[in-house]
Amino acid sequence: MRKVGLAGWIEKDKPVAGPFDAIVEPLALAPCTSDIHTVYEGAMGEKTDLILGHEAVGRVVEVGSEVKYIQPGDRVVVPAITPEWRSVEIQNGVPAQHSEGMLTGWKFSNIKDGVFAEFFHVNDADMNLAKMPDTITLEQAAMMPDMMTTGFHGAELADVQYGASVAVIGIGPVGLMAVAASALRGAGRIYAVGSRPRCVELAMEYGATDSINYRKGDIVEQIIAANKGEVDHVIVAGGNEDVMQQAVKMLKPGGTIGNINYFGTNEIIPIPRLAWGSGMAHKTIRGGLCPGGRGRMERMIALVVNGRVDPSKMVTHTFKGLEGVETGLELMRNKPAEVIKPVVLV
Piece in contact with Zn ion (CB under 5 A), picked from 29-37, 68-76, 83-91, 310-318: 29-37
Q: What angle do CA 2, 3, 5 make, to 5 degrees?
A: 110
Smallest separation (angstroms) from ligand NAD to the CB of 200: 10
Spatial CA neighbour of 23 closest among 52, 50, 58:
58
Binding mask 146-165 for Zn ion (x = CB under 5 A): x-------------------
What minimum distance in Å lies between the beta carbon of 82 and ligand NAD? 13
> Are the C-beta atoms of residues 111 and 45 closer than 8 Å to each other?
no
Closest CB 270 distance from ligand NAD, rounded Å: 15
| Interface with ligand NAD (CB under 6 A) | 33-34, 37, 146, 150, 169-175, 193-194, 196, 199, 214, 237-239, 243, 260-262, 289-290
Quote the strand ranges of the chain, DSSP E: 22-29, 56-63, 75-78, 120-122, 130-131, 165-169, 189-193, 210-212, 231-236, 251-259, 284-287, 315-320, 341-345
Write out the binding residues for Zn ion, residues 45-64 only, by CB under 5 A: 55
Nearer of residues 15 and 239 to ligand NAD, judged by Cβ? 239
Query: How near is the Cβ of 224 to ligand NAD at its closest, in Å?
Result: 16
Give dist(CA 150, CA 237) in Å, integer.
Answer: 9
Distance CA 121, CA 108 (A): 9
Residue 232 binds to Zn ion (criterion: CB under 5 A): no
Nearest-approach distance from CB 98 to Zn ion, in angstroms? 17
Per the CB < 8 A criterion, the answer to whether 30 and 143 are in contact is yes
Residue 167 site contact among Zn ion, ligand NAD, none (CB < 5 to 8 Å, cut-off depends on kind): none
- Cα dihedral: 304, 308, 312, 313 (round 10): 170
Looking at 15, 34, 58, 63, which residue binds Zn ion (CB under 5 A)? 34
Contact criterion met (CB below 8 Å) for 281 and 306 = no
Judged by CB under 5 A, the chain residues 119 through 148 that form the site for Zn ion are: 146
- Would you say 153 and 260 are in contact if contact means Cβ atoms under 8 Å apart? yes
| 120 alpha-carbon distance from chain centroid | 20
289 makes contact, choosing from ligand NAD, Zn ion, none, with CB < 5 to 8 Å by partner type, with ligand NAD
Residues 95, 76: Cα–Cα separation, whole Å: 20
Q: How far is the CB of 92 from ligand NAD (least distance, A)?
A: 18
Residue 128 touches which of Zn ion, ligand NAD, none (Cβ within 5-8 Å per kind)? none
Residues lying near Zn ion in the complex (CB under 5 A): 32, 34, 55, 146
